[in-house]
A = this chain, B = another copy of it.
Amino acid sequence: MADVVRFTKNSSATLKARKGFSLKDSDPDSTPGYDGDKNAGEELLADLDDNLAQLQEQLFAGSRFGSTRRILLILQAMDTAGKGGIVTHVMGSMNPQGVQLKSFKAPTPEEKSYDFLWRIEKEAPAAGMVGVFDRSHYEDVLIHRVHSWASPEELERRYTAINDFEARQTAAGTTIVKVMLNISRDEQKERLLARLDDPAKLWKYSSNDLKERAFWTDYMDAYQAAFDKTSSKAAPWHVVPANKKWYARVAVQQLLLEALEGLKLQWPVPDLDVGMERELVERS
């Protein structure tokens, strides 16, 4: 078997929305950092599942010995972009006990009665966990901006609040990985049609998706504004081209691996006399 085709070493550097980044210039069909094809990508994904699972277990193990390190993956995208697939295929290799997944829906009346970060704070990952936000506090500066549910001043307040919130999480031990899955308008059309054509996918179709689709350009502007306002050094945005589902999965897996490797995790060594414990077990 041929060697597995590897991703470029610096996935975060490759996919980061730097100062001056323009979403318009990002090609949803491209595969930055990766030269392999679909088969190679799927092979790489499977090949690295065990690495990811082990790093996650080390992160979890560390928390049992006082480490406060944790990961928070924030996934944002237009409908049908493949957030669910990322959760299943990338997170699926990890031990479910160490993954804290939260899908944020439209806020309930109770949630609406608080500041927008109230419901977010409650779902921040615990020490040792890999948290995943499927949608997030960014909805409050995306859909709210698109439909003018918040004034320009209120949006500014929220950008600032988000930066402060994320800076605090980071300072408390969280590595934040922010990902926007970037699909094209045409690709979304194909995926909506595919939902209508497949009885196993039809239940996911909502005519509401079509309503939001009509605001495509406004959404792209709102994403661009979010990148401009909240792509901080501690918690930069990554824009992952997502017309090719396999590439998006490979890329997000790489971002997670890089984040975890950056923590230089080790298996914790409990403070016990292994020889003596072994004797006690033998005698028990």
Residues of A bordering B, CB below 8 Å? 54, 57, 61, 64-65, 84, 87-88, 91-93, 95-97, 99, 101, 103, 134, 189, 192-193, 196, 199-200, 202-205, 207, 210, 213-214, 267-270, 272, 274, 277-278, 280-282, 284
Please name all residues of chain B whose beta carbon is closer than 8 Å to the beta carbon of A88 when the two chains form the complex.
95-97
CA distance A282 to B205 in the complex (A): 14
Partner of A277, one of B65, B99, B207, B269: B207
Q: Which of B61, B99, B281 is in CB contact (< 8 Å) with A193?
A: B281
Of B87, B95, B213, B267, the residue contacting A203 (CB under 8 A) is B267
Complex Cα spacing A101 to B278, Å: 33
Q: Is the CB of A61 within 8 A of B203?
A: yes
In the complex, chain B residues whose CB is within 8 Å of the CB of A95: 84, 87-88
A97, A193, A267 — which one has the most chain B CB atoms within 10 A of its CB? A97
- Determine whether the beta carbon of A196 is less than 8 Å from that of B274: yes
Q: Are A203 and B270 in contact (CB under 8 A)?
A: yes
Determine how close the nearest CB of chain B comes to the CB of A155; give it in whole angstroms: 27
The answer to whether A281 and B202 have CB atoms under 8 Å apart is no
A92 in contact with B96 given A281-B192, A281-B210 (CB within 8 Å): yes
* A277 with B196: CB separation less than 8 A: yes
Tell me, rounded to whole Å, the shortest Cβ–Cβ distance linking A220 to chain B: 16
Q: Within 8 Å CB of A196, what residues of B?
A: 274, 277-278, 281
If A193-B282, A207-B272, A214-B284 are given as contacts, then 15 extra A-B residue pairs at C-beta distance below 8 Å, sorted by A number, are A84-B95, A87-B96, A88-B96, A92-B96, A96-B101, A97-B103, A189-B281, A193-B278, A196-B274, A196-B278, A196-B281, A200-B267, A202-B267, A205-B270, A210-B277
